[in-house]
Chains A and B, each alone.
Chain A
Amino acid sequence: MSVAVTIESVQKSFSNFAALRGVSLDVQPGELVALLGPSGSGKTTLLRLIAGLEQADDGRVLFDETDTRRLSLRERRIGFVFQHYALFRHMDVASNIAFGLKARPRSERPSASEISRRVSELLELVQLGGLERRFPTQLSGGQRQRVALARALAIEPRVLLLDEPFGALDAKVRKDLRGWLRDLHRRTGHTTLFVTHDQEEALELADRVAILNDGRLEQVGSPDDVYDHPATPFVCEFLGEANKLPVEVVGGQAFFGNRPVLGGLQQNQGGAASLYVRPQHMRIVDDTPLALPGVVEDLRRNGPLRRAEVAVEGLIRRIDVDLASQVAPAIGERVRLRITHGSLFAAA
C-alpha cells in the first residue's frame, strides 16, 4: 500500500524568492524520513509539493513509477497533517475522521456502518476511544494532533506527510508524542515524511534525515551518519554544538597555529581548513603530543552534563568541552585538550 517517493530535481520559486533550487531525494516504501532545516530552507514547500498543494516549476515527484503531475489531489491519496491540524471546527471528532471516507464518489464510498466502524478503529489506534462526539475546541493540543493524524490515516494514504507535527505542543507532550508516533509508524508502516526545524526530534524519530538549507539539500543519511559525519559545515553546526578551529593541514596532520592538534588525516587533504569539534569529542588529558593548551575560564552544569569553557590563545570564542564525571578542573587551571573526533572542511 505504501509507495516509494522519488523526488527528481524539483525547483520552485515564489514571485522573486527561490524556495527550492533543485532538490532530489529517494524515499523507500515504509521509510520514515525527516526534512530538517531552519525556517526558509524550503522544507515545508517540499512537503506541500509532494502533497500536490504546490506545483513544481521544474522537476517531478514520482509515487513508485507514477508521475504525480498526472494525479489529482484525490488520486494522490496523501495523508497530510497540517502544522495547526486544520481540524474542521464545526464537526465533531467522528465527522472529522469520517470526512475523507464520506467525500469519496458514491461507488467507492463505504457504507455508513462501515464508516463508523473505521472511525472507532482509528480512534482506538490513536488512543482517543470514546471522544467521538467531542468538538476540536474541547480537546487538548496533543489530542487534536492525534485526531488530525487519524483523519489523515482514514483515507488509507499511500504517503503520510506531517508538517511540524509537534511544533504547536509544549515540551512534555512533545516528548510523549514522539515515541508514540515512532511506535505508530512501526505498526502501520506508512511511507512517512515529516518536516521539522528541531534537530533533536529529527535525529530521534527518523530512519533517515534530509537536511535542507536555502532551497538545497545539504545531506541525506541516517541520524548517526549525518551527526557523526556531516557533509558540510552547515550540517555540522545545525545538528548540534560544534567548536570551530581554523587549521592548516600539512602531511596528514592539522595544525592550529604551529601546534599539531589532530592526526591521522588523509594525505590528499591540505591547506587552510576549518576543523569542527563537538564538545563531547574534546577530552582533558595529562600529556599527549597532539593537544590544544588552554585555560579553564568557566564551569557550568547543564542537566546531566558538566561543561568547561576553555580559553585558547589565538581564538576569540571559548572552546566548549564536555567533562567526564571523574574530571574536575578548577577555574583558572591550565589544561590540555585532546580532540577525539572532528570534521574537517576546506576553508571557503
Chain B
Amino acid sequence: MSDSPLPAAIYRTDRALRDGFWIRALLLTLALGFLLLFLFLPLIAVFVEAFAKGYGLFLESITEPDALSAVRLTLLVAAIAVPFNLVVGVAAAWAIAKFEFRGKSLLISFIDLPFSVSPVISGLVYVLLFGAQGFLGPWLKAHDIEIIFALPGLVLATIFVTFPFVARELIPHMQALGSSDEEAALTLGASPWRTFLTITLPNVKWSLFYGVLLCNARAMGEFGAVTVVSGRIRGLTTTMPLHVEILYNEYNSVAAFAVASLLAGLALVTLALKTYLEWHFADAISAKSRH
C-alpha cells in the first residue's frame, strides 16, 4: 500500500519531462534553423565566395592598393573614434551614475539618440553642417579645412554612430555599484584622480572592455553614415564596408567577398571575445580572487 503513490509520482514527473522534451525540441529546432538559414549560411557563403577562385586571387584582392588603403583608413578611423568614445563615454557614464543633476534623464535619452536615428540621417547632418553648400561650408572653405569627403568627416560620422556603446554598457554597472567605494577611497585620503584610477576603473573594467569591443566592431563595420560623408573617392575615402560595396557593384564578387571576409573575420573575433568576456564578467563580480 505504502508503495503505490511512488510509481504514480514517478510516472507524472516522467510525463511532464517528456512533454517538456517535445516543446524544447521544437523551440530548439526553430532557433537553430533560423540561425543556420540567416546567419551561418550567409557567413559560410562569404568565405566560400571569397576563396571561389582560389587562394591566390583572394590574397591579391586584399593586397591590391585600394583594398589596403581601405583597411588602413578603417583602422585609422577606428583608432581615433574608439578612444574618443571611450573617454567621453566614461565621462558621461561617470556623470550620470555618480551625480544628481537637472536634465539627467534627458542626457540619457540623448546618449541613446544615435541608436534611434537612421545612420544615413546622421551622415546627412554633417553634410548639411560642414558640406560645401552647408552651414559652415563657406567658412571652412575659406580656411582650407576639409571635413566632408575627407578623414575628419568619416571620423565624426563614426563617432556619432558608435557613441552609445561605451556609455550604455557602463551606466547600469556604475549605477549598480553606487558611490560608496569612491567615498571610502576619498575619506581614506585618496585624490579624486587616484580614486578614479584605482577604484572606479578596476570596478568597471569588464563592462568597459565589453563596450569598447562593441564600439570597435561597429566603428569598423559602419556603412550608412560613413557612405554619406565619404564621397567614395576610391583609395582615399573608402573604408572597408564602402570598398566592398564598390567592388560588388562592379560585379567583382571575388574581391568584394574577399574584403568582406576580413570584416566577417573581425565579427567572429569580436563574438568570441564578447562571449569570453560575458563568461568572465559574470564571474568577475563574485570572485576576483583568481588574479
| Interface, chain A (partner B; CB < 8 A) | 51-53, 73-74, 76-80, 82, 84, 86, 88-90, 99-100, 103-104, 134-135, 137-138, 151-152, 154-155
With a cutoff of 8 Å between Cβ atoms, the chain B residues found around residue A86 in the complex are 180-181, 183-184
With a cutoff of 8 Å between Cβ atoms, the chain A residues found around residue B181 in the complex are 86, 88
Name B180's contact: one of A79, A84, A134 (CB within 8 Å). Answer: A84
Is B189 an interface position by the 8 A CB rule? yes
With a cutoff of 8 Å between Cβ atoms, the chain A residues found around residue B202 in the complex are 90
CB distance from A102 to the nearest CB of B (A): 9
With a cutoff of 8 Å between Cβ atoms, the chain B residues found around residue A74 in the complex are 186, 189-191
With a cutoff of 8 Å between Cβ atoms, the chain B residues found around residue A77 in the complex are 189
Within 8 A of A (CB), among B159-210: 180-181, 183-191, 194, 198-199, 202-203
CB distance from A12 to the nearest CB of B (A): 14
The answer to whether B289 touches A99 (Cβ under 8 A) is no
With a cutoff of 8 Å between Cβ atoms, the chain B residues found around residue A154 in the complex are 188
Nearest CB to that of A138 among chain B residues? B289
Given contacts A99-B185, A151-B188, whether A137 and B289 have CB atoms under 8 Å apart is: yes
Is B17 an interface position by the 8 A CB rule? no
The answer to whether A99 touches B287 (Cβ under 8 A) is no
With a cutoff of 8 Å between Cβ atoms, the chain A residues found around residue B189 in the complex are 73-74, 77, 100, 103-104, 155
Q: In whole angstroms, how far apart are the Cα atoms of A137 and B291 in the complex?
A: 13
Say which size band chain B's interface belongs to: 20 to 34
With a cutoff of 8 Å between Cβ atoms, the chain B residues found around residue A138 in the complex are 287, 289
The answer to whether B187 touches A89 (Cβ under 8 A) is no
Name A99's contact: one of B183, B188, B191, B203 (CB within 8 Å). Answer: B188
Nearest CB to that of B290 among chain A residues? A135
As a 0/1 sequence over residues 256 to 291 of chain B, the CB contacts with chain A under 8 angstroms (1 = contact) are: 000000000000000000000000000001111101
The answer to whether B203 touches A89 (Cβ under 8 A) is yes
Q: In whole angstroms, how far apart are the Cα atoms of A213 and B189 in the complex?
A: 32
CB distance from A190 to the nearest CB of B (A): 14
Closest CB pairs A-B (n = 9): A100-B188, A103-B190, A86-B180, A74-B189, A86-B184, A80-B187, A135-B289, A90-B202, A73-B186
A51, A79, A90: which has the most chain B beta carbons within 10 Å?
A90
SS class of chain B's interface: helix, strand, loop or mixed?
Answer: helix
Q: In whole angstroms, how far apart are the Cα atoms of A274 and B190 in the complex?
A: 53
Given contacts A135-B287, A137-B287, A137-B288, whether A78 and B187 have CB atoms under 8 Å apart is: yes
Nearest CB to that of B289 among chain A residues? A135
The answer to whether A99 touches B180 (Cβ under 8 A) is no
The 26 listed contacts between A and B (C-beta, < 8 Å) are A53-B187, A80-B183, A80-B184, A84-B180, A86-B181, A88-B181, A88-B184, A89-B203, A89-B285, A99-B185, A99-B198, A100-B189, A103-B191, A103-B194, A134-B289, A135-B287, A135-B288, A135-B289, A137-B287, A137-B288, A137-B289, A138-B289, A152-B187, A152-B188, A155-B188, A155-B189
Nearest CB to that of B187 among chain A residues? A80
With a cutoff of 8 Å between Cβ atoms, the chain B residues found around residue A84 in the complex are 180
Nearest CB to that of B180 among chain A residues? A86
Q: In whole angstroms, how far apart are the Cα atoms of A260 and B273 in the complex?
A: 83
With a cutoff of 8 Å between Cβ atoms, the chain A residues found around residue B288 in the complex are 89-90, 135, 137
With a cutoff of 8 Å between Cβ atoms, the chain B residues found around residue A100 in the complex are 188-190
CB distance from B208 to the nearest CB of A (A): 13
Within 8 A of A (CB), among B26-57: none
CB distance from A236 to the nearest CB of B (A): 34
Name A103's contact: one of B180, B188, B285, B286 (CB within 8 Å). Answer: B188
With a cutoff of 8 Å between Cβ atoms, the chain A residues found around residue B183 in the complex are 53, 80, 82, 86
Q: In whole angstroms, how far apart are the Cα atoms of A138 and B181 in the complex?
A: 18
Nearest CB to that of A83 among chain B residues? B180
Q: In whole angstroms, how far apart are the Cα atoms of A80 and B184 in the complex?
A: 7
The answer to whether B188 touches A82 (Cβ under 8 A) is no
With a cutoff of 8 Å between Cβ atoms, the chain B residues found around residue A155 in the complex are 188-189
Q: In whole angstroms, how far apart are the Cα atoms of A52 and B186 in the complex?
A: 10
Q: A80-B187, A100-B190, A103-B194 are in contact. List 19 more A-B contacts (CB 8 A).
A: A74-B186, A80-B183, A84-B180, A86-B180, A86-B183, A88-B181, A88-B185, A88-B199, A89-B203, A90-B202, A90-B291, A99-B190, A100-B189, A103-B185, A103-B190, A134-B289, A135-B288, A137-B288, A155-B188
